[in-house]
Copies of this chain bind each other. A is one copy, B any other.
């Protein structure tokens, strides 16, 4: 068993090499005509410039945090922290590289092989798999190496640093990316589509390149960092829970401390193998039905994972009951994905469409209602998973359930990253004038991507909830261990109540800050685009040779994202420290619980309301309730615009907020008693 976990970094390295091969496959695809290459070049450069500037700022935060960790916790933890942060950035960088190369090649594939969308789907997916494989492999390499050196109950807390590093990057990347993409999207849409009446991704629109850059920095790099940290966080929280199992206790019946610590890592290895098999299966499946190929390849990977995961209980010497928790987590993830799909593309969406007939106000009211309602079933699924996991494997079960949900991250993330690539491909084909038939193919790929994106968000939320709970449990165990007696956070204790309230408020505060940031920046973007349409003669008329000043718009998005990500990031990083040291470990426990509850709820509410508004608009554009240009359509555009920062900025920030705060708490736990 000790031997198997040694293989984790090697397996990770293999995955990373495979990601490199995928990248070279993408690169070898034809990249279309000069205009396409020019546009793709601008998107690529905009994304890379943003990423570099973001990493420069984060560098400062990371160095300060690492110094603080060295002083207060220990040098090894600080090193682990630096690695976690660095690997997260690396995963983002690789993924962006893949995505920004694949977008134009997807457009070209749609152009060359029309009317068959299979080839284009394949290119986009391979591009996405660069991200998917990078995330899973880098996670495995990083944790594998630190587990090799510190994978013993006494020293395993060092590994927590890796999770904190990943979380730190994730929050800034998610918030910054989210602000970037929605500033550009909202601004470009409000002036272009609503005021000037020109189509989406029209090359005359000065904000359109920034919008396409935004898809990459928000939905690829941002989501990647988010999932990377969930993946890493769930494994590390479970290792921490395994480390506190004391021989002779009830939990010890599940396995020895060492075997329980190894099992999550082994599951992650098995999950990577399953993901690679799933990715390979897509190549075969897309020949039959591209539309369902993404879904079936995910199912295949899940099935393979479930079989291998079961077998590995025997190799790992953990009780078979532990596997039930893994199974529960995995099924819970799928259930949340399907519920998300229902709320963002089925009957509830039709309610919003219908309400659009009486105007923007009723569209918004019904969208908010759908979002609120959509929180119920996912929470029920999470509660069932918690119940089952705890019943069969105690608190450790909650951690391992999160690992079960996330082990197939390799394929989940590939499918997620496919979405923005397809979206970009559509933008490039529109801007370079590839024609209606090509646009139709990319639109169909994009529509598929919207659904997978919604499911991906559901997954991210579900896993964040379980990961945060596992971290929370690990926090309480860590304090118990330090105290030497039980550490009971009692909910009627007024300090805990205060913590609950403070924690509950934080997601609302982060939501307010991020919404305000997008609102303010979009306001600037709108005025800039209006100015260009007014001041650049011939631009709006589409006169030959007249080009918009896209750099100015990219600059607005970049600056807004980089300045506005700081405050939410620091709040998340510092609140556990402030509350922990001023109000004490009980209040901090309450705070984590409060933040987890409202964070998960707000995240689901915002993601699903946004997704439902988006699709309501799409369905109306496809002809229902009067179609494009009708009053219902105008109302639906308002809903979609409100939903943009909901689903792509504020909502996703919640996931990381709750995970980051719990990992920080876990790390400072020994200092609090």
- A residues sitting closer than 8 Å to B (CB atoms) are 186, 190, 194, 354-355, 358-362, 364-366, 368-373, 375-376, 379, 382-383, 386-387, 389-390, 395, 398, 469, 472-473, 476, 488-492, 494, 496-498, 500-502, 504-505, 508-509, 511-513, 515-516, 518-519, 522-523, 526, 589-590, 593-594, 597-598, 600-601, 605, 637-638, 641-642, 645
| A372/B597 contact (C-beta < 8 A), A387-B498, A491-B491 known | no
Task: Check if A505 sits within 8 Å of B376, measured CB to CB.
Answer: yes
In the complex, which of the residues B355, B375, B590 contacts A491, with contact meaning CB atoms closer than 8 Å? B590
Q: Which residues of B contact A501 (CB under 8 A)?
A: 379, 382-383, 386, 597, 600
Task: Check if A638 sits within 8 Å of B194, measured CB to CB.
Answer: no
**How many angstroms between the C-alpha atoms of A489 and B497 in the bound complex?**
12
Q: Which residues of B contact A512 (CB under 8 A)?
A: 369-373, 376
Task: Check if B642 sits within 8 Å of A361, measured CB to CB.
Answer: yes
A640 to B: closest C-beta gap in Å: 8
- 18 examples of A-B residue contacts, CB within 8 angstroms: A186-B365, A190-B359, A362-B522, A362-B526, A370-B512, A373-B509, A376-B512, A379-B501, A383-B498, A383-B501, A390-B494, A488-B490, A489-B490, A491-B590, A492-B589, A500-B593, A505-B601, A508-B605
Identify the closest chain B residue to A514 (Cβ): B369
**How many angstroms between the C-alpha atoms of A358 and B187 in the bound complex?**
10
Identify the closest chain B residue to A595 (Cβ): B597
In the complex, which of the residues B492, B504, B515 contacts A489, with contact meaning CB atoms closer than 8 Å? B492
Task: Check if B366 sits within 8 Å of A516, measured CB to CB.
Answer: yes
Q: Which residues of B contact A504 (CB under 8 A)?
A: 379, 597-598, 600-601
Task: Check if B379 sits within 8 Å of A502, measured CB to CB.
Answer: yes
| A186/B642 contact (C-beta < 8 A), A496-B491, A589-B491, A597-B594 known | no
Q: Which residues of B contact A590 (CB under 8 A)?
A: 491
Q: Which residues of B contact A387 (CB under 8 A)?
A: 494, 498
**How many angstroms between the C-alpha atoms of A354 and B600 in the bound complex?**
31
| A642/B368 contact (C-beta < 8 A), A375-B508, A379-B504, A597-B598 known | yes
Identify the closest chain B residue to A368 (Cβ): B515
A458 to B: closest C-beta gap in Å: 15
Q: Which residues of B contact A488 (CB under 8 A)?
A: 488, 490
Task: Check if B190 sits within 8 Å of A361, measured CB to CB.
Answer: yes
| A505/B379 contact (C-beta < 8 A), A492-B395, A496-B491, A598-B601 known | yes
Task: Check if B362 sits within 8 Å of A502, measured CB to CB.
Answer: no
| 9 extra interface residue pairs, beta carbon distance < 8 Å, beyond A362-B641, A366-B515, A369-B516 | A369-B519, A372-B512, A372-B515, A373-B509, A383-B501, A488-B488, A488-B490, A504-B600, A508-B605
Closest 10 pairs (CB-CB, A-B): A373-B512, A361-B641, A372-B512, A369-B515, A390-B494, A504-B597, A489-B491, A369-B516, A375-B508, A379-B505
**How many angstroms between the C-alpha atoms of A502 and B375 in the bound complex?**
10
Most chain B CB within a 10 A radius of its CB, from A369, A398, A502: A369
Identify the closest chain B residue to A586 (Cβ): B491
| A490/B491 contact (C-beta < 8 A), A362-B190, A372-B508, A601-B505 known | yes
Task: Check if A386 sits within 8 Å of B498, measured CB to CB.
Answer: yes
Identify the closest chain B residue to A398 (Cβ): B494
In the complex, which of the residues B365, B371, B518, B597 contacts A365, with contact meaning CB atoms closer than 8 Å? B518
Task: Check if B597 sits within 8 Å of A386, measured CB to CB.
Answer: no
A462 to B: closest C-beta gap in Å: 12
A423 to B: closest C-beta gap in Å: 20
**How many angstroms between the C-alpha atoms of A370 and B600 in the bound complex?**
20
Q: Which residues of B contact A190 (CB under 8 A)?
A: 358-359, 361-362
Most chain B CB within a 10 A radius of its CB, from A390, A473, A498, A519: A519
